[in-house]
Structure 1
Amino acid sequence: MLRSLILLGLAAAAPMARAATAQHSYANPIDVDYKFNFEQEYEGVSYRTGADPVIVRHQGAYYLFQTLADGYWRSTDLIRWRFIPASLWPAEGVVAPAVWSEGKDLYVWPSMTHQQPILVSDDPASGTMRYLLRRTPPLPNAVPSGSEDKIKPGQVPAGPWDPAVFVDDDGGHYLYWNSSNVFPLYGMTLDAENRFAYRGDTRALLTLHPDVHGWERFGQDHSGTLPNGTPIAPFMEGAWMNKVGGRYYLQYGAPGTEYNAYATGVYVSDKPLGPFTYAPYNPVGYKPGGFVQGAGHGSTFQDAQGNWWNTGTPWIGANWTFERRVGLWPAAFASDGQMMVSTRFGDFPHYVPDHRVGDPESLFTGWMLLSYRARATASSTLGDFTADRVTDENPRSFWVAADAKPGQTLTLDLGAVKTVRAVQVNFADYKAGRYADAPDIYTQFRLESSSDGTHWSPLAETETGQGRRDRPNAYFELPTPVRARYVRYVHGHVGGAHLAISDLRVFGSAGGRMPAAPGRVAAVRSPDPRDARVTWALVPGAVGYNVRWGIRPDRLALTYQLFADDPRLAKGGALDLRALTRGQGYSVAVEAFDQSGVSKLSKIVRM
């Protein structure tokens, strides 16, 4: 089975991990060659991004689309992705498109506030697209873009923006769309026999209720305000539809992509256009803590084995407010209809299975983070961008070398000889100075390991020659475990003016005993029942904690991860949860983790 292929005997050294090496795991953000975004060039900002991801399975492969990528990616295993430049791409680029597979064809419908084409391909692996429509007609009763303040009853904003197209079992086609903090999410029927012409009335399907649903409040940890304290209405966007067990799951992203609290919610109905009922277990895709933060605006799909997956667009926000990447998490639909997305250890390595799995959480490899707060040294440093930033699990802080010439090094001391299973190198686009059409946007480096800091062995390296590509979030699963105390990055090339690394993440095991389960767990709802305070006794030696909660004690589907040195834990274990729904009951538990593993779950308590 899969694990027997991976859990091999320990070795002092191992062959280098290269692109051709068999790989069975991945880590978020996923390892694709995110494209430099020209969206903010006029402000002198250059960054890679992966906003608004859609993954669909088509003709035995998976296709990934993002905003403003001038193409898309193809994979046969959800691990290795190949970028495909697309023909007939609109000159202004494709933003947050609807993508769906139907028969032999793959369709792409970009977001629009003015007329855009609908593209179709019966050979998307080649990048060949053709026009289904060169210019889609405006939505019925839509006002011109910029005139939203003049909307009258029965009218809708220009669009569709953030569209999603769903094909039902009976062949019916439905469009869902909108991105706004004023207007609702809409839906309507499409005429598939007439090149997906609009048919029937536009329906307002749902809107946000942050006064009831705590997780729908805008801002960092649902503060409800901008950083300057100004209150702001939350945004709803990124519609997606799945039908499972006769139920229609209408998903949406909220309350705003530029903070840790960006999440996916769901309404459920027995009809494709509703009426829809708010799911009491919301949000479903939620990851406010850890290295990857944010899980909203994505898609939900089944792999070739029938396993469910959910994508989202985690927040980076270092170079520009809306700088993002792509996250991929195991998902499931319970027999009673509850939709779940597993983000527990959601930025640690996970397996991609070759068989049907019953529990999404079983895909966590168990490889723990060995690099957190490890001592880091560098061959050079630019200004205050010191090497210690690469082990803080924060993509918004980073080390910058004095120059980007080959040979620069970055070295981690893990503190003792440990078993290394995987390494992830996350680059930052500090004053990158390169744009989408630059000829030298690729990443080249090698990784080395050592037990004594003197004798070094090859650990992994990027592709060379014709196979080289840009790898802003390069992930290497080692062919066999490696015993090492030191891990060293040796630079070759980056597609930017500076060598900047936000985090050099090492995964494996320290080989010690598991931490003890946290004790004295309590959870009390606040006077505002959208909030609760969870407390617990700190565990000596713990690297961090997962606060887990849900609407059933046997289904703690939501997780907030905290590291032990988080300032919020300075006076003891405590976390303010602000993602609850008024009138809904919850159960809570806490687990501790360290470099050797995860504790047993604490006592489960009611709020």
Structure 2
Amino acid sequence: MLGPGNQYWHFSSMSVGVSVGWERRIGMFPTFIDTDGLLYANTRFGDYPHYAPSETDRHGTFTGWMLLSYKKPVKVSSALEDYNAENLVDENVKTFWVAQENGENQWIEIDLEQPAVVKALQINYNDYKSDLYGKIPGLYHQYSIEASLDGIHWETVIDRSENSKDVPNDYVVLQNPIKTKHIRYRNVHVPTSYLSISDIRIFGNGFGKAPKPLKKFTLERKDMRRGANLSWNAVKDAQGYNVLWGIAPNKLYSSWMVYEDTSLDIKSLNSDQTYYFSIEVFNENGVSEKSPILKLE
């Protein structure tokens, strides 16, 4: 798809497969043609905030806003068995939280553990036992988001209590970023029988330091040369790692985000192609420089 400013966008279907086998989500990634005529999509931090095509001087680039909510302590008003609060912050599209009731008395509170500057939030609702099929008019979601530094005094920073639109994956950029430590979601209305949310994602930046770069990693070709295994030692204060690779040192166009783990098996290589790999480390404060590039022949 050709977007504003002759920038291309690549659409990708991503499997969920929880409710039914064909359950999918659609991803959209900025796509470019390099000076050698090679078409590539930028999927680095692909589901983190990026600048829109209308931002002509930086369209499609990563904002640098990091994920602040990953595996943080969560309290909820209620939960059905096996659909616990922890599912709200695990970055797994296959898991979700379900409240015991569906009404205005339901809430979620996330403790960021350290003060941070919050710049955007995303609410990913889930359709647990919705019994809604096809395109149904009149659906809408209503909620509010409150913030607090001390967990006692709260202020409303997002008010969707009178929203009239269907926003199952609502993403809101705060006009005025806030320094806060606690975020609270208050339900007003959802169009489904159950109040169910897959993830509440909080983006911004902490006040600490970005992690140090990865010094080295091991790389081995496997599976009749169609795969590769990478492993490395954990970096202090790392939240995760981006594995980057491509067909030349200056064309590391492919990426794979890894949370917490220190190894990765890739099974999508061409057997007769030489590849180049690098790894960058990230946490709530920022991203490290890339590791030295390794060649895989």
Q: Shorter-normalised TM-score: what interval?
A: over 0.9
Q: Name the counterpart of 1:507.
A: 203
Q: How far, CA to CA, are the matches of 1:444 and 1:511 in structure 2?
A: 32
Shift of 1:484: 0.8
Matched, 1:402 2:100: yes
SS at match of 1:441: coil
Residue from 142, 166, 187 that aligns with 1:444: 142
Q: Write the letter of the residue equivalent to 2:183.
A: V
Shift of 1:312: 1.8
Q: How far, CA to CA, are the matches of 1:494 and 1:588 in structure 2?
A: 45
Q: Write the letter of the residue equivalent to 1:374.
A: K
Query: CA 1:556–1:359 in structure 2 vs 1: closer, same or farther (change >3 Å)?
Result: farther
Q: Name the counterpart of 2:272.
A: 583
Check the 8 A contact 1:307/1:332 in 2, yes or no: yes
Residue from 282, 286, 291 that aligns with 1:593: 282
SS at match of 1:314: strand
Check the 8 A contact 1:424/1:476 in 2, yes or no: yes
Q: How far, CA to CA, are the matches of 1:527 and 1:343 in structure 2?
A: 25
Q: Name the counterpart of 1:369.
A: 67
Q: How far, CA to CA, are the matches of 2:135 and 2:249 in structure 1?
A: 52
Q: Name the counterpart of 2:192.
A: 496
Q: Write the letter of the residue equivalent to 1:563.
A: Y
RMSD between aligned residues? 1.7
Q: Name the counterpart of 2:41.
A: 341
Q: Write the letter of the residue equivalent to 1:582.
A: S
Matched, 1:518 2:214: yes
Check the 8 A contact 2:4/2:53 in 1, yes or no: no
Residue from 333, 350, 355 that aligns with 2:50: 350
Matched, 1:481 2:177: yes
Q: How far, CA to CA, are the matches of 1:436 and 1:520 in structure 2?
A: 50
Q: Name the counterpart of 1:553.
A: 249
Q: How far, CA to CA, are the matches of 2:146 and 2:58 in structure 1?
A: 37
Matched, 1:538 2:227: no
- 1:388-443 CA distance string (max 9 Å, x none): 11000011111110111122101100001111010000011111133447665211
SS at match of 1:389: helix
SS at match of 1:313: strand
Check the 8 A contact 1:444/1:462 in 2, yes or no: yes
Query: CA 1:527–1:397 in structure 2 vs 1: closer, same or farther (change >3 Å)?
Result: closer
- Listed as ranges, the matches of 1:154-303 within 5 Å are 301-303=1-3
TM-score, normalised relative to structure 1: 0.47
Q: Name the counterpart of 1:204.
A: none
Q: Name the counterpart of 1:326.
A: 26
Shift of 1:535: 2.0
Q: Name the counterpart of 1:460.
A: 158
Aligned length: 296
Q: How far, CA to CA, are the matches of 2:139 and 2:84 in structure 1?
A: 25
Q: Name the counterpart of 1:295.
A: none
Query: CA 1:439–1:606 in structure 2 vs 1: closer, same or farther (change >3 Å)?
Result: closer
Q: Write the letter of the residue equivalent to 2:232.
A: W
Matched, 1:423 2:121: yes
Q: Write the letter of the residue equivalent to 1:455.
A: H
Check the 8 A contact 2:30/2:42 in 1, yes or no: yes
Between structures 1 and 2, the one with greater strand share: 2
TM-score, normalised relative to structure 2: 0.95
Q: Write the letter of the residue equivalent to 2:45.
A: F
Query: CA 1:584–1:491 in structure 2 vs 1: closer, same or farther (change >3 Å)?
Result: same
Shift of 1:519: 1.8
- 1:112-145 CA distance string (max 9 Å, x none): xxxxxxxxxxxxxxxxxxxxxxxxxxxxxxxxxx
Query: CA 1:408–1:555 in structure 2 vs 1: closer, same or farther (change >3 Å)?
Result: same
Q: How far, CA to CA, are the matches of 1:561 and 1:430 in structure 2?
A: 27
Shift of 1:481: 1.0
Q: Which has the higher contact order (CA 8 A, sep 6+)?
A: 2
Q: How far, CA to CA, are the matches of 1:473 and 1:312 in structure 2?
A: 17
Query: CA 1:453–1:324 in structure 2 vs 1: closer, same or farther (change >3 Å)?
Result: same
Identity of aligned residues (%): 35
Query: CA 1:414–1:377 in structure 2 vs 1: closer, same or farther (change >3 Å)?
Result: same
Q: Write the letter of the residue equivalent to 2:81.
A: G
Matched, 1:604 2:293: yes
Check the 8 A contact 1:434/1:497 in 2, yes or no: no
Q: How far, CA to CA, are the matches of 1:421 and 1:495 in structure 2?
A: 27
Runs (5+) with no aligned partner, structure 2: none
Runs (5+) with no aligned partner, structure 1: 1-300
Check the 8 A contact 1:519/1:537 in 2, yes or no: no
Q: How far, CA to CA, are the matches of 1:355 and 1:425 in structure 2?
A: 24
- 1:185-243 CA distance string (max 9 Å, x none): xxxxxxxxxxxxxxxxxxxxxxxxxxxxxxxxxxxxxxxxxxxxxxxxxxxxxxxxxxx
SS at match of 2:211: coil
- 1:6-58 CA distance string (max 9 Å, x none): xxxxxxxxxxxxxxxxxxxxxxxxxxxxxxxxxxxxxxxxxxxxxxxxxxxxx
Query: CA 1:304–1:374 in structure 2 vs 1: closer, same or farther (change >3 Å)?
Result: same
